[in-house]
Amino acid sequence: MLHVDNTSGAPEQNLPPLLLEAVRYAEDRHWEVVPGTWLVDGDGPACCSCGAPDCALPGAHPAEQDWRRRASAGPGVVRKWWTENPAASILLPAGRAFDVLDVPEVAGCLALARMERMGLQLGPVVAVPAAPGCGGRRLHFLVLPGVADKLPDMLRQIGWSPERLDLVARGEGDWVVAPPSRVGGYASAQWARPPSALNRWLPDAAELVSPLAYACGREASSPRQAPRRAAAVR
């Protein structure tokens, strides 16, 4: 259950949504959280708060260089950060409580349907808008940590060439942009499968790699979809 320290007396529903969700991730899931940049609206397209005109990840990267050290699962610390800056995007460091299997949205949806028919255990899945200049949304499957360095060998063992697939593992040094953070233009990260009591225990990546590889391989061979590597959207 989420407990938000509301000293102002305002109803919980009137508190900033990013604050509520950031505290929920820390308090309910014990995930480390770190503030990210945010989008600044103006006369033209929204730009990143970092000020770089050519920012590759507007609203979707850490606001501080020492973000790995600062990341915290303490609800009080997280609440303070988003009270001070309610617009900051919510970033969840990978390689700690979870790693991430990152695939294109179309392939991810195909794999999701197949995994559900197979009765596989699934963890939370994030749908992330495309980065500027990159094609298509991405799905991020949260799995037990430890897959980032093993994925190429895992793919070869089941007969896939890692270079052919738009399937990437993200671990230590990467991050997930968590809902409801606004990313890129006007779209926001969303949960394709939200965190719940049913998926508190994350799956082993080995259980998901085969259906994800199959779906990515099918998309790579499709005439409407040229293979492309994942962009640096975490």
62-71 per-position pLDDT tens digit = 999 999 999 9
> Which band of pLDDT confidence, cut at 50, 70 and 90, is reported for residue 127?
very high
Long-range contacts of 150-158 (CB under 8 A, 24+ apart): 150/205, 151/101, 151/205, 151/209, 154/205, 154/206, 154/209, 155/209, 155/213, 158/209, 158/210, 158/213
Do the Cβ atoms of 128 and 183 come closer than 8 Å? yes
> Which residues, in sequence order, are CB contacts of 74 under 8 Å at separation 6+?
26
pLDDT tens digits along 176-228: 999 999 987 668 999 999 999 999 999 999 999 999 999 999 988 766 544 44
Tokens read off for 132 = 């500027």
Nearest C-alpha neighbor of 184 from the set 37, 57, 36: 57
- This prediction's pTM: 0.87
Residue 42 confidence class, pLDDT cut points 50, 70, 90:
confident
What pLDDT, on the 0 to 100 scale, is given for residue 185?
65
